[in-house]
Amino acid sequence: MALKATVYKAELDISDMDRGHYGSHSLTLARHPSETEERLMLRLLAFAMHADEALAFGRGLSTEDEPDLWLKDPTGSIELWIDLGLPDERRLRRAAGRTRRVLLLAYGERAVEVWWRKQRAACARLPTLTVLALTDAMLTEVSAFAARNMRLQFTLQDGQITIADGERYLEVTVNRLQN
């Protein structure tokens, strides 16, 4: 018998002063049985960082031709491709050829260091690629906000990200590796 996805509901209130985006977003996220809660929360963080009415989650971990999140314009052209993890250079190149901007949120601290040493030169050849990384400790702190039903406030200002849920408050540090 196949395991089923776990459904999470998230109500996000986002104040992105850097981009001038203020709004509430009701999201339903399906956590695949092979996906960790940390990765699920990283998808949620990526959404908050680029919130837009047209930003949507991809079909999931097993879909190679879609990102974790993407933003399409009204014509269907991809404006922003967001991937999580440590993809190979070929995937990043393909994404850069399909969209105006590519964002990679890398995680898995030791693996990121090794991956970045190997991929840095290839990534530098992709001018539309931004590479950000979260430390393991930071990802653990972000994932502490995970609940099947969440109501979170995200504030983005001057490159700083804060998350609050009424009881807790966290300043999120994201390391910029490229762009």
Which pLDDT belongs to residue 61? Answer: 62
Number of domains in the chain: 1
Q: Does some domain include residue 3? A: no
Q: What is the mean pLDDT of the chain?
A: 94
Q: Which CATH number does the domain housing residue 58 bear?
A: 3.10.640.10
Q: Is residue 71 domain-resident?
A: yes
Q: For residue 48, count other CB atoms closer than 10 A to its CB.
A: 25
**Residue 87 belongs to domain spanning:** 35-146
**61 part of a folded domain:** yes
pLDDT at 55: 96
Strands (E), the chain: 6-16, 21-31, 55-57, 69-72, 78-84, 99-107, 129-134, 149-157, 160-164, 169-172, 175-178
Is residue 127 within 8 A of residue 175, CB to CB? The reply is no
Whether the per-residue pLDDT at 175 is higher than 90: the answer is yes
In a domain, 140, yes or no: yes
Is the full-model pTM beyond 0.85? yes
pLDDT tens by residue, 58-88: 886 666 789 999 999 999 999 999 999 999 9
Assigned token pair, 70: 């993407």
Q: Quick one: 178 exposed, middle or buried, by C-beta within 10 A (0-12, 13-18, 19+)?
A: middle
Cross-strand partners of 6: 31
